[in-house]
Amino acid sequence: MKGHIKSDETRRKLSESHKGKIISQEHREIMGKEIIGINIKNGTQVHFKTIASATKYFNLKSKSGIGNCLSGRAKSCVGFIWKYA
């Protein structure tokens, strides 16, 4: 966080209070940004509500590949160029 530096005790208490919280899939979709994947070979587009839903669709182990494309650290992932909608 910017500005205020929290003590180690406060950070530990915050960490403990957040452990075990369950966020529903509906809430995750509300928080997520919509993304578009553009196929490199034929230009077709696929739309997803979240990075997690795209990851699940393509059966990827991690969201970092698509996330790296969205942040500009990589050019493509699973044959698609990724952009925010």
| Residue-range domains of the chain with CATH | 32-85 (1.10.10.10)
Rounded Cα distance, 14 and 22, in Å: 16
pLDDT tens digits for range 47-61: 998 898 999 999 999
> Cα separation of 46 and 58, whole Å?
11
pTM for the predicted model, two decimal places: 0.67
The vertex-17 CA angle with 28 and 63, nearest 5°, equals: 35
Which H/E stretch holds residue 55? helix 51-57
Confidence of residue 3 (pLDDT cuts 50, 70, 90): confident
